[in-house]
Chain A
């Protein structure tokens, strides 16, 4: 039911009373109906949250994300036992058909590279190198075009010599955006009753969110796009908030006008039901608008 992201940025006490989340700050008291909240991001270490609030938020399937002292998201709540998770569902997930997993991964990678090309085109950057790699995609991406493209894509989008692994402010912003995106995808995966640990391509032992990392791929370039449009010299609170607000970006998903958070919800359901054998394809077609402006954000309820 939720449709709202709440970002807590200052000294606050977060508690629960009468189906509302109470955020008490130095200046005032904010009351938010718990059914409205989809994501609660606590982007400060100056906040306290009561156990009752955590448990009620979990029951309402709200993703709570905590940040460290630098404001980077460090952990999130994962529902212990969502009421729709059953043994049979888990068995289904463990037995996902290999061909279906491979096909889905192919679609995800194709959509991701396509999005990366679109983003470059929007910035009027020559994409011939990427197009060349794009045409060489094979089923299950056995030749790992995804990584090859990524290595070419980032230096093209940002300045030459740009690397994902160093400590540039733009990288910090990208990481921030990705973790918000991942948390949101995870929330939806948990809502379908699946385990976030068991992915279709990612299988890192230390990654608790392998499935989320798989499914989020086509949407990463949206963050890249936004970050590349900004001139970021430092990851300020303002930039962080706008990255969270990207969940409300208007776009076209599978032919329908929608906003990113609803598209992600649809995407996760599509993918999971495809893997469960309930549908024959899981198409991922994302069309972006002309520009990301503040005007495009926050507009529709």
Chain B
């Protein structure tokens, strides 16, 4: 067996967490997220500017010599935990992780530095539900231009550059102004999908699509578990807080054993999710031999836990949980969409079956 992964948080990571949390407390309240979700511009560009310009978070995964912070997936995971807690409507996972990883696989030059600085936002033009290693839709490359239509592209509505796989096996950078991006009505209001139509759009070849897409989707899936952890932890904490305050039958509702047991069970799931998510982040950061396995385990475990946590939060908040003004619906929508993003739990279990030699009949 390979060396044990480091499953703890370092002091630097905790400091990063505190800084991100402070910023989100000041600039990303639930009421604002809900109000923005109903407009034509659901993304919070000001918050993105603070995170990217102000804190340099968009470039965490990019080496310093290419204009980034030279940090690792471990730090990215901590940022995602905090963004998950707030269901923050920013393209961090899609641009700073997935698109960035795709560019890191090839020779993207200044584009990587642009994404790292947050000046431009990138989106990988692969449907959000695709998992690493499975088939994805490509566009036609003909006469030096790209033609076709791609759907389910997360955060494309806010992207400046689209990374588009084509039928010649290449991955192309396409300026968003050269494409038609049509928002789709999305289950997750805070990470909306869009349709991308290319009608003879010029593209710049970045390299082979297959390894870049695979690398990007693997990192996306592995680190998504940390977003799911943050979300699950927040819903549990909020539900516990509410059930201590809410009184019925002359007692705090949280004193009823049927509810205590459900919350204790949920806590246990969150604790296990933390270990699985930390393991995935550490394995991605160190390039460990177990990275594929760690990602599959984390994602197969994380999705059901985050959905369960959000569903329990809604139910245990009673009537108020069913309303639009309470933020639990943001969590539920994000959690359910996350459970499909970068492959379902079932897809990751299927990948695992190959990795640990537990073959299907």
Partners in one complex: no
